[in-house]
């Protein structure tokens, strides 16, 4: 019936002597080993690049947060719900930073079925809504079927060229479903919705099947920092499935009009995004972005025009996603003793003090650990390669 790959469970393997990892050095301090462990943990995050694989750049992501009884457990401080919401704020900021176009992050809680925040183009609304949701109570049993059903209702209307994803943060070990969830899994698979689950308690078989069938990933957290790492894995665009449609999307590139008070023709006007919000300020501004199709005014981009439906972006927003298309290769690690030549990092001009140095494979320049992390996480381009490109 089920062709499940044979995996050895942890208790079936040999004993793991975790105490042997920590070693004292001559003076009896553990500092060196602790730094080593932290260093290895940092290095693990350097991605394995997908190579020439098409990525799903335009993403519609639904995040579902379990709010059942088990979320009041205090194994994550102060309790699971608060910790999850805090990490979600961080996730939302990173997500909008890396996927600035049309990413909707819609959040809702399984049990109580209210939307925390629906479809905002910028992270501020999400973060505000998350902060407000911190005090909510957790009761009852979760229902995976209902959550997936609701998410599916919205996602199935999304255009075919976007990558449709659901991320579930599931902390309970049970689920109360009104109907057969395996039927729903089949429907999800046909609609090409990718479901990933982050488990907070233990591995649940129905989640394993759900993620395996739809092509997502299932992980169970060890502690809070592991939770954060797992969330960060979902920020990058996933490889697009081969059957997703590719199309040309019509977008507008509005001009930013800045007018000062002394300008004779400048008239203050309301921005369209203020029509629906109640808690923002007076909203009269002189300048803004005007939709090229219907001349409606907006104060921030990217946004979908409420009047004519055109997606408005600016060229830097598209440029933000390019580093996904041209990922930077991982640098080669080598021990410090083998390195001849100047003991200076070529990026930050600091002395190379760590026990390993990193060499860029393209231009053979040497970097220290901190610069390597900074280059791969934030900068996405090698400072020395820029020079050698110009010199070729």
| Helix (H), strand (E), coil (C) string for 164-199 | EEEEEEECCCCCCCCCCHHHHHHHHHHCCEEEEEEE
Q: For residues 111 and 106, give the distance between their C-alpha atoms in angstroms, rounded to a whole number.
A: 16
Q: For residues 16 and 68, give the distance between their C-alpha atoms in angstroms, rounded to a whole number.
A: 34
Is the alpha carbon torsion for 88, 90, 93, 99 positive or negative? negative
Half-sphere exposure of 248 (CA within 13 A, CB side): 2
Q: Which is nearer to another protein, 186 or 323 (CB)?
A: 323
Residue with structure tokens 């998350």?
Answer: 130
Which one of 37, 222, 325, 336 is in contact with another protein (CB under 8 A)? 325
CA dist 121 → 97, 133, 301, 320, 321 (Å)? 12, 19, 8, 15, 16
Q: How far is the CB of 319 from another protein (least distance, A)?
A: 4
Q: How far is the CB of 361 from another protein (least distance, A)?
A: 17
Q: How far is the CB of 302 from another protein (least distance, A)?
A: 12
Torsion angle, alpha carbons of 282, 287, 288, 290, to 10 = 120
Q: Which is nearer to another protein, 154 or 321 (CB)?
A: 321
Q: How far is the CB of 354 from another protein (least distance, A)?
A: 12
Q: How far is the CB of 366 from another protein (least distance, A)?
A: 13
Q: How far is the CB of 87 from another protein (least distance, A)?
A: 18
DSSP 108-136: EETTT--EEE---SSHHHHHHHHHHGGG-
217 binds another protein (CB under 8 A): no
| Cβ atoms of 90 and 194 closer than 8 Å | no
Which one of 1, 8, 248, 261 is in contact with another protein (CB under 8 A)? 248
Q: Which is nearer to another protein, 161 or 226 (CB)?
A: 161
Torsion angle, alpha carbons of 36, 39, 40, 43, to 10 = -160
Q: For residues 213 and 235, give the distance between their C-alpha atoms in angstroms, rounded to a whole number.
A: 21
51 binds another protein (CB under 8 A): no
| Span 253-282, contacts to another protein by CB under 8 A | 253-258, 260
Q: Which is nearer to another protein, 134 or 381 (CB)?
A: 381
| Span 167-206, contacts to another protein by CB under 8 A | none
User: Quick one: which segment of 64-72, 84-92, 170-178, 240-248 binds another protein (CB under 8 A)?
Assistant: 240-248
Q: How far is the CB of 187 from another protein (least distance, A)?
A: 23
Which one of 246, 276, 338, 340 is in contact with another protein (CB under 8 A)? 246
Which one of 347, 357, 360, 366 is in contact with another protein (CB under 8 A)? 347
Which residues partner with 164 through β-bridges? 60, 193
| Cβ atoms of 127 and 93 closer than 8 Å | yes
Q: Which is nearer to another protein, 107 or 352 (CB)?
A: 352
Q: Which is nearer to another protein, 181 or 375 (CB)?
A: 375
Which one of 119, 203, 245, 300 is in contact with another protein (CB under 8 A)? 245
378 binds another protein (CB under 8 A): yes
Q: Contact residues for another protein (CB under 8 A)?
A: 54, 57-58, 97, 160-162, 240, 245-258, 260, 292-293, 310, 314-316, 318-323, 325-326, 342, 344-351, 370-371, 374-375, 378-384, 386-387, 389-392
């Amino acid at each position: 019936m089920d062709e499940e790959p044979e995996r050895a469970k942890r208790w079936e393997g040999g004993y793991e002597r975790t105490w042997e990892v920590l070693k004292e050095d001559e003076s009896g301090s553990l500092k060196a080993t602790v730094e080593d462990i932290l260093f290895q943990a940092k290095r693990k995050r350097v991605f394995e690049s997908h190579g020439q694989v098409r990525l799903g750049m335009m993403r519609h992501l639904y995040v579902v947060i379990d709010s059942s009884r088990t979320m009041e457990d205090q194994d994550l401080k102060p309790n699971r719900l608060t910790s999850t919401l805090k990490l979600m704020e961080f996730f939302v900021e990173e997500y909008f930073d890396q996927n600035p176009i049309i990413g909707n992050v819609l959040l809702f809680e399984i049990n109580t079925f209210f939307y925390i925040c629906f479809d905002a183009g910028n992270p501020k609304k999400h973060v505000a809504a998350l902060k407000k949701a911190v005090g909510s109570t957790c009761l009852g049993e979760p229902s995976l079927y209902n959550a997936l059903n609701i998410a599916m209702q919205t996602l199935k209307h999304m255009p075919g060229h976007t990558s449709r994803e659901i991320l579930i943060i599931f902390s309970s070990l049970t689920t109360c479903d009104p109907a057969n969830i395996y039927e729903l899994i089949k429907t999800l698979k046909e609609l090409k919705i990718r479901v990933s689950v982050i488990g907070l308690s233990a591995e649940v078989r129905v989640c394993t099947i759900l993620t395996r069938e739809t092509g997502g990933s299932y992980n169970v957290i060890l502690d809070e920092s592991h939770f954060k790492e797992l969330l960060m894995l979902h920020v990058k665009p996933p490889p697009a499935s081969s059957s997703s449609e590719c199309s040309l999307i019509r977008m507008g590139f509005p001009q930013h009009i800045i007018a000062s008070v002394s300008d004779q023709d400048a008239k203050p006007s309301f921005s369209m995004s203020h029509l629906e919000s109640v808690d923002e300020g007076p909203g009269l501004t002189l300048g803004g972005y005007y939709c090229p199709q219907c001349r409606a005014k907006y104060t921030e981009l990217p946004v979908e025009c409420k009047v004519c439906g055109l997606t408005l972006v600016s060229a830097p927003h598209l440029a933000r996603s390019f580093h996904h298309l041209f990922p930077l290769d991982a640098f080669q690690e080598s021990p410090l003793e083998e390195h001849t030549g100047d003991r200076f990092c070529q990026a930050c001009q600091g002395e190379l003090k760590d026990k390993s140095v990193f060499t860029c494979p393209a231009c053979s320049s040497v970097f220290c650990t901190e610069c390597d992390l900074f280059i791969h996480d934030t900068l996405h381009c090698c400072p020395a390669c820029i020079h050698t490109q110009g010199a070729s």
